[in-house]
Each structure stands twice: as structure tokens, then as C-alpha cells.
Structure 1
Amino acid sequence: MHIQNSVLLAEEKQALLAAIVSSSQDAIISKTLKGIVTSWNPAAERLFGYQEYEALGKHISLIIPEDHIHEEDFILQQISKGLRIEHFETIRITKDGKRIPISLTVSPVLNQRGEITGASKIARDISGDIAAKQEKEQLYEEIKMLNKKKDEFIALATHELKTPITSLRGFLELLQLNVARNSTTAGLLERCARQVNKLNILLNDLLDVSRLQLGKLQLRYEYFDIVAMAGEVLSGFHHFNKHTFSFKSQKLVIVYADRIRLEQVLTNLLGNAVKYAPKGGKVQVKIWESGSNVYVSVSDEGIGIDREHLAGIFDRFYRAVNSRSNISGLGIGLYISREIVVRHGGTIEVESQKGIGSVFTFSIPQKRR
């Protein structure tokens, strides 16, 4: 009775296995160690075009292109050693001569004595996967090309605009020298000059973005007192009456860096501190030494930055405020600042709380004499 139950159980397992193989969406093929096909499921019929009776007893080379026939020897050698082959991507050929890319998984087939008698392979058509991959690669190349053209256009446009804006600044300065200081005309000219200066700063930023993308942003190193430099930059912000500025530092901190570029970084951080605190408040600059680095921080009491924006705040053209807000900007100042600091071998980071304010800190190696 026990033997009879075991036989019935084995038959049920065999029937279940046959049903799974028959209903599988993947081609499942069995073959001997000499490559002769011993089973061929319906999915194999659909994939390769051969009916079961056409494939059984034939050599597996029936579906292998001539330029891939060497793979069969390798597969059988691995199977003979009891090894399994997984996700082997190759090419097979259908009955009508069509070449199709497939992924193969091949396993040894053992008899009751544990001897390897053949191989079972599962073949999956990966044409769709390859087509999707190629489409993504093509799209990526197109985006790269468009991005390059965009950078080239920005560089060309900003370069062409520099000349007329420089001329315009010169004409305005000449006019300012020839009008009474307290007249209405003088006030209008001053307003025009401020707008031209803003436009000039914007063009310089766009040129810097282009130089960064093309790897042409050069640093001119020199020894200088970064404390004195920060004081000079800060003096240009005292006309913002709503804000109070404080400066904490040691008396003298000499660094070896590009003074003009670090002025640009500090000017940008102070400009943001003012811009993103439209109601005013305290703006504090600190400079200190720690180990072999010099640190500079700018803190404000502005609107702060949402946590979700912190990760992308230094990305190119990224803005942490709603596009409908009345705070202007293209989102390139912090990107340029980060690139300048990184090219000095330093780091820049931000800590912020919404509605409380932000603290931007950058560090550079001191490189003492």
C-alpha cells in the first residue's frame, strides 16, 4: 500500500511538472549530453516556429546560428561538470531564419542514480528589453547633444551681449558725470546703472556656467588675507537698511587661493542671505581655522529652505522657491559657488529650517606658506 501511494505521488508530481512546463511563457527545452532534443514545450513552438514533432530527435543546432555554434560545446562542457548556466545572453534563429536575442538558463538533468544525463534549458526572448535599452541610450545621447548645444548657445549669446552692455555702462557713467547730482535725471541714470550692473552680473554667471561645463574655469592662486577680503565684500552690503551685518573672525587668516573667485562665492552667499530675508534681520559672517582648513559661514534669518530642497540646492538651475514667487534668480549662483569651492579642494554645505533661516558654510585647505 505504501509503495502504491509513493507511485501515485510521483505520478502527481510528474503531471504537475508537465503542466507547469506546458503552460510556461518561456521556452523550455530538454536535450541529451550530445545535444539531441528530448522535449519541446508550446512556448518553444511559439518562439522558434518549430512544432514539437519537428524538433524532437533533432540536434539543438537546429536553432543555433552558425556564428554561435561554438557556444553549444561550452554549454555542454559546463553541464557535464554539473554546473548551471544562468542568464546567458545570446542569439538563436527561428524556423523562418529570423535572429532573436534570448537569455538562456541551463541546468543539468540527473537520473535516479544522480548521474547527469542531459540538460534542461529555459529560453526567454529579450528583444523588448534590448529595444528599450537601445531607445534609452539613443534618448540619452540626444539629450546630451541638446544639452551641449544649449551650453554652446548660452556661451555664444552671453559673449555677444557683453560688448553692448559694456558700452552701455560706459555711456551711463559719462552721462552721470554731466548731470547735476540731485536732479531727477541723475536719479534715473542711477537706477539705469543699477539695472545694467544686475544684467552684467547675470551674464558673468552664465559665462561661468558655460566655462564650467567646458572645463575652462581657471583658478589664479595667490596668498591673501581672507578676513580682509571678507570685510571688503561685506562693506558693499551696508546699504541694505533692513539688515544688520556682523562679522566674527580672527585678526588675520592667510590662504592660498583664487581671491576673485572666493569673493564671488562670498558675494553670492551674502546676496542670497539678503534676498531670501526680504523682511530684514541679522546676517552674520564667521571665519575660523580648524586643522588644515579655513571655514567661512554666512547665516541669515530669512525664509529658510524646505528639507525636500536641501539635496538639490547646489544643482545647476535649481531653485528652492516657487517659480511664482517674487524672488528673482536663475538658480546658478550656488551651483557656481559649489564648483569654485570644490575646485579649491574644499566643501560647501547648508543647514536650514523653514521660517527660521539658513547657514551656508564652505571650507578650503589653508595651504600655509
Structure 2
Amino acid sequence: MGRTSTEIALHIDFNSHYYRNIVRGVARYAAVSGWKFYTHRGIPEITKADLMQWQGAGVIGRITPELEKNLRQRGIPSVNVKADYVDFPVASVLMDNELIGREAARYLIEKGLRRFATTAWSIQGASGQLKVEGFIKALQQYGYDATILATQKEIQQAGKVLQVEKSEPVGFFAAEDFLGRMVMDACEDAGLRIPEDIAVIGVDNSPFICEMLSPTMSSIELGAERVGYQAASLLNRLMQGCAVPDEPIMIAPERIVGRHSTDILEIQDELVARALRFIRDHAAEPITVAEVVDALFCSRRVLEKRFRKEVGRTLHEEIRRSRIERACELLRDSDMLIEVLAEACGYSRRERFNAAFLQETGKTPSAYRKEYRFGKS
């Protein structure tokens, strides 16, 4: 293979939901860079064997220490996007796997759960272990621990392993979505209910695994497009002769997508739980505190007092939080104009929407959308 000075190679598994999202981020950057890509039968993917002899401008992908050395000796810069090794190349853009685990722990604790379990079985490389470590460290800060299912046999027997003290539900963190589905299937086979007995959250938010099966599964949306965009930006700087950064670039997970597998009643006060449901169901409407009170046929003073005690926020604050949460989803998933989006979230004026969004997130709506799509620069 002769050297093609503007050709970029992607050393990835294009069948992976995670890597396809990374490719989207690379493509977004490449749209203004003029790059050309190595392809095989139309797929932007190169094998390790071909890469060891390929002569091009730069590489993004799953870079092993051996491969990084080979490319460096041939003067080809590379950027790694997967934490397969503890000592991964410094020129890396990686998901913050420990933070993923910590976010899962926080989410399950906020659901009112007090028993926990986790698994990263079968995941090659350090990423799964880092997620589990982050999960356990976060639990320990709150005085909790977790049962670890370390083998396929333990996962297949998850229902039996976790059936002890069945009256107390278990919050389960799976380091990949497919592991979460395996755990859910095993628990249902053992007669446990999802989510009443086992509340499960996975990682990567794969549509088929999470949404096209019943019950649907909660998952952590990584926002891997930002990994691809930042990796392409870093590779461009390396190709221009810039120095390798002192530390890998770490990307925080985007958000938690809650579905049926964690939809447990974490609020003990039934009146407060009904208020939360009403607010959640009407987040797209310009509802008021008075309308919540009227819908529940109760005293405003009683509801306000019990709501603040149970949730830690006022009814007004919860309405605003629910509206802004919906706004964040629309900013991420649509190209809706801000003015139209504000109205869809119950705000008649953009100024009021901007002020509420800034107060809740610390960012303007435009900055939030830009950061989600392009990552922090």
C-alpha cells in the first residue's frame, strides 16, 4: 500500500453501537477537514493486519501498545479511543469509565435502593473493571457495598444469587447493556420481578437491547459522538506536528435514560408520589403549582410541606426541573429552534426559558446543544 497523505484509517468494530457513534463524531469533524477515509467494501474500517502495513496520514481507533509503537516508528500519528489497557497510549480520548460507575451508583441510590450488585463479566480490557470500581467506590462513600457477579454461571443464576432478602429490592449495575439484559432474563426466569425486585441499569443505551424488548431497560447514554469529534480534533493537531497531550482526554457520560427496569416507587409518601407523576406527565405543558394541587384534590399547604420533606425541593422547583429535563432531551435529540423548543417545554417567552435553563444547568440552551454535539473544546 502506498502512502496516501490525506487518508485516515479507523481501526474499529463497525458492528458495535459504541463505535458507530464514535464514527459519527469523526464524520462531523471530517466534514470541514477535507479528510478521506480508508474503506473496505464501503465500511470505514481497517483490520490490524492491513494497518500494520498501511501508509496514510493518521489513525483513530482501538490502539494497542504494539500497534501504537508500529505506527509511531513509521511516522503515523494515532489516537486511541478505548480503555483496553491500564497503560493505554497517552494520545487517547476516552469515556470516563469510573465516572460512569459513580453516576450509576448515584442514580440507584436516589431511587431509594439499599442493596446493590454489579457485573462486568466478559468485557475485554480495563473499561468494564473501571466502571465497576467507580460504582463500588461511590457506594462505599454512602456506606453501601455490592455483590459482584464475576462469571457467566453467576449471571445465569443471578435470580438465585440475588433472591436473598427478596423483600428488599436490589439495584443492579451492568457495565454493558447486553449484560443487563442477561441479568434481567435470569432474574425473571427465577420468578423475580423487574423492577420491583431487581432494578437494572446498563451502559451505552443501545436501542435494540434497551427499547425493543420488554421490559425496557434503563441505560447510561455515553454520547460517544463527542469521543469521535475530540479524537479527530486531537489527530488533526498531531498530524500538524503538535505535541502529544500530557494526559488522555476524558469524556463524561452524557445522561441517564430511565426506562421501566428502574421505574420503582422510590417515594414512600403516596401523595407526593402522585404529585411527581403528575408533574412528569405534564412537563410539556405550562402547568402551575395550583394545577398540581387541584389535580390531587388536596390542601396546597399540606402538599407543599410533605413534598419538600420527601423530595428536598419545592413544587415550583420540581416543575422547573422537569421542564428543563425535557428541554435537555429536545436539545440533544432534535434541531428544533430554541423559541419553538421553549414553548414545547411550557415557556411562553424565550427569555424566561433561558433564565430557567441557566439556573438549572449552569449553561445557556445554545451552549448546551453545542457542547453535546461537539464536546468541550
- State TM-score, norm by structure 2: 0.19
Q: Which has the larger radius of gyration?
A: 1
